[in-house]
Amino acid sequence: MRLSRYFMPTLREAPADAQIVSHQLMLRAGMIRQEAAGIYAWLPLGLKVLKKIEQIVREEMDRAGAIEVLLPTLQLADLWRESGRYDDYGDEMLRIKDRHDRDLLYGPTAEEVITEIFRAYVKSYKDLPKNLYNIQWKFRDERRPRFGVMRGREFLMKDAYSFDIDEAAARKSYNRMFLAYLNIYARLGLKAIPVKADPGPIGGDLSHEFIILADTGESEVFAHGDLVEMGAPGPDIDWDGDLEPLVTQRASLYAASDEMHDAARFEAEVPADKRMTARGIEVGHIFYFGEKYSKPMKALVTGPDGKDAPIHGGSYGVGVSRLVAGIIEASHDEAGIIWPDAVAPFGVAVVNLRPGTAEVDAVAEQAYKALEAAGKEPLLDDRDDRPGAKFASIDLVGIPWQLIVGPKGVADGVVEIKRRATGERQTLPLEAALKVIAG
């Protein structure tokens, strides 16, 4: 991509109402534009990052044996009347009427829709287990949408739904998702802590939230200071064993407490010198709820004994659009965003310091083409601008590498490369520079 033809509307300053760093940086980097409270347009750079996160989530769901579907954003209220949640859900549900005066809603989640699909086709225990997932926009009419895409009203969620014959099998499905979640966050370069959680309006008796630590987070985590091994399932996690953890030993500073919602009990059990609280961002939430939806909605399968029984279900959410902000909270400096390579909108910026000078243009073009051929998704900064302004905007948008081509270097047969995360610079002949970046 040539920056002179791209659409990357960076801002020198963030609007005053952006309170947290990820919101400020997403606005300044030209990633999103607010269209209404909690409703955002995704601009090219933001969309690229969103799609990369979405793809990592998709790959890990597929690897864990879940199967992708695409559900509609609008749902029939009658389905929610069947489960009993239509009235319970309250003001967060955006209710809509169509021209026939039918009650619809913009889905805040999809347990009812997926249960309706499942019961239409699956009738026998022989077809279980099944896990269907969906990456789709959701709407929750949050009382206080804030912090940009961190708490939006419209947001992108991956939601997976498991169907099993009994509780033991369902807990295995739950544990597979638990492990897949650890793998997702590890690939995104995040340290996410699983915390036992309150199932809230989704229901059920077993639930974990996945929290990344950040001072600006809205979730409070009670933790103690022992080192724990993550990646391998925890003590209460029995998993199939055929799904390999990507991180076999990720030492984390914090073991999250099971008593997140019961601070008093927690404090009684953990010695004072090991107690601490931290703030964090909830980037995923998984639930085991058994027959909560299958019973009222009559999602029954015939078991080996010939009897029909409701399936045991779970649901598993990842906040895909929230993760864009979460990664920025975890990875930035005074100059701007520092994208982990896995989700960077471009792998490298080729910064031409003197566009219009034939020899400099030639080297910049050569670098750009080589990096494109190597699959590094280069952005060619061919803008007619001061070097300082170019560096500032490339640092701001967080591209992991810069390859800088200027008249002096070209005369000496070298270019400069800079790693965004460390600021480390090297001056090298072009071929050697390309090797460092493209591996």
Minimum distance from residue 45 beta carbon to ligand 5CA (Å): 19
User: With respect to ligand 5CA, which residue has the nearer C-beta, 171 or 322?
Assistant: 322
Q: Which is nearer to ligand 5CA, 142 or 372 (CB)?
A: 142
Q: Shortest gap between Cβ of 396 and ligand 5CA (angstroms)?
A: 24
Residue with the CB atom nearest ligand 5CA in the bound state: 319
Burial label, 393 (beta-carbon count in 10 A; 0-12, 13-18, 19+): buried
Taking the complex as a whole, the smallest distance from the CB of residue 195 to ligand 5CA amounts, in Å, to 11
Which is nearer to ligand 5CA, 109 or 393 (by Cβ)?
109
Q: How far is the CB of 320 from ligand 5CA (least distance, A)?
A: 8
Task: Kindly state the smallest distance separating residue 152's Cβ from ligand 5CA, in Å.
Answer: 4
Which tokens in the block code for residue 387? 């070097």
What residues line the site for ligand 5CA (CB under 6 A)?
A: 109, 111, 140, 142, 151-152, 155, 157, 159, 202, 282-285, 287, 315-317, 319, 321-322
Please say which residue, 155 or 254, places its beta carbon nearer to ligand 5CA: 155
Contact 339, 146 (CB under 8 A): no
CA diameter of the chain: 82
Residue 1: how many other CB atoms lie within 10 Å:
17
Task: Say if residue 302 is exposed, middle or buried (CB neighbours under 10 Å; 0-12, 13-18, 19+).
Answer: middle
For residues 108 and 409, which CB has a smaller minimum distance to ligand 5CA in the complex? 108
Dihedrals phi, psi of 266, to nearest 5 degrees:
-55, -50
Nearer to ligand 5CA, 155 or 339 (CB): 155
- Are residues 64 and 129 in contact, defined by beta-carbon separation less than 8 angstroms? no
Please report how close the Cβ of residue 47 comes to ligand 5CA at its closest, in angstroms.
Answer: 16
Backbone angles phi, psi at 327, to 5 degrees: -65, -40
Nearer to ligand 5CA, 30 or 38 (CB): 38
- Give one DSSP letter per residue of 379-418, joined into a string: EEE--SS-HHHHHHHHHHHT-SEEEEE-HHHHHHT-EEEE
Nearest alpha-carbon partner for 55 in 135, 132, 130, 159: 135
Least distance (Å) between residue 310 CB and ligand 5CA: 18
Question: Would you give the DSSP letter of residue 165?
Answer: S
